[in-house]
């Protein structure tokens, strides 16, 4: 039981045995310069733009529920490479791009079908 609690606390980012909080900065960015740190945000925007282009090309062939997976792969890639904060930006931009380009009515942030609200919330929850 104690081991389960320790794993849960480690997954939450807090180690009860050492009373240390896990770093919020990706380890590779701790000693990086400001240009390197902002590069993650640039790549987050770039990845979202590339995923949008790919999704628009596939919009007539695939269901929107499948197209959101392209964005999810991009967000996970940004998170693995650049850390939490660029991943949050990528998640936010991906949901906005998905809604704007791929959810009817197109080129609007209005949601016609309420089932997409669950899709948006699940994508935003994947950001961290």
Q: How many CB atoms lie within 10 A of CB 28?
A: 12
- Cα R_g (the chain), whole angstroms: 17
Q: Determine contact, residues 88/127, Cβ cutoff 8 Å.
A: yes
* In a shared domain, residues 44 and 63: yes
Task: Say whether both 102 and 48 belong to one domain.
Answer: yes
Same domain, 49 and 26: no
- Beta bridge partners, 15, equal 20
Q: What is the mean pLDDT of residues 104-112?
A: 71
C-alpha torsion 69→75→81→84, nearest 10: -140
Residue 20: exposed, middle, or buried by beta-carbon count in 10 A (0-12, 13-18, 19+)? exposed
Judge if 10 and 37 occupy the same domain: no
- Give ∠ CA 42-47-50 in degrees, rounded to 5: 125
pTM (global) more than 0.95: no
Q: What is the pLDDT of residues 39-52, one digit of tens each?
A: 889 999 999 999 99
Domain span at residue 106 reads 32-125
Q: What is the rounded CA–CA span in Å between residue 48 and residue 89?
A: 10
Per residue in 55-78, pLDDT (tens digit) is 999 989 988 888 888 998 999 999
For a pLDDT cut of 70, what percent of the chain falls above it? Answer: 55
pLDDT in the model for residue 106:
77
Which residue has better confidence, 26 or 112?
Answer: 112
More confident residue, 73 or 33: 73
Are residues 111 and 84 part of one domain?
yes
Residue 98 — very low, low, confident or very high, per pLDDT cuts 50/70/90? confident
State how far the Cα of 68 lies from the Cα of 53, in Å rounded to an integer: 13
Predicted local confidence at residue 99, as pLDDT: 83
Give the mean pLDDT of 30-46.
74
Specify the number of domains making up the chain.
2
pLDDT of residue 12: 55
Check whether 29 has a pLDDT greater than 80.
Answer: no
User: Are 74 and 51 in contact, with CB atoms under 8 Å apart?
Assistant: yes
Quick one: 10 and 41 in the same domain? no
């Amino acid at each position: 039981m104690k081991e389960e609690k320790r794993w849960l606390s480690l997954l939450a980012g807090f180690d009860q045995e050492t009373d240390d909080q896990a770093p919020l900065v990706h380890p590779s960015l701790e000693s990086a310069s400001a240009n390197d740190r902002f590069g993650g945000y640039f790549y987050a925007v770039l990845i979202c733009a590339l995923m949008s282009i790919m999704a628009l090309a596939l919009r007539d062939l695939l269901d929107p529920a499948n197209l959101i997976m392209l964005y999810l792969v991009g967000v996970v890639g940004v998170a693995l490479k650049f850390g939490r904060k660029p991943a949050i930006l990528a998640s936010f931009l991906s949901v906005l791009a998905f809604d704007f380009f791929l959810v009817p009515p197109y080129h609007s942030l209005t949601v016609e079908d309420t089932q997409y609200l669950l899709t948006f919330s699940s994508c935003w929850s994947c950001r961290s």
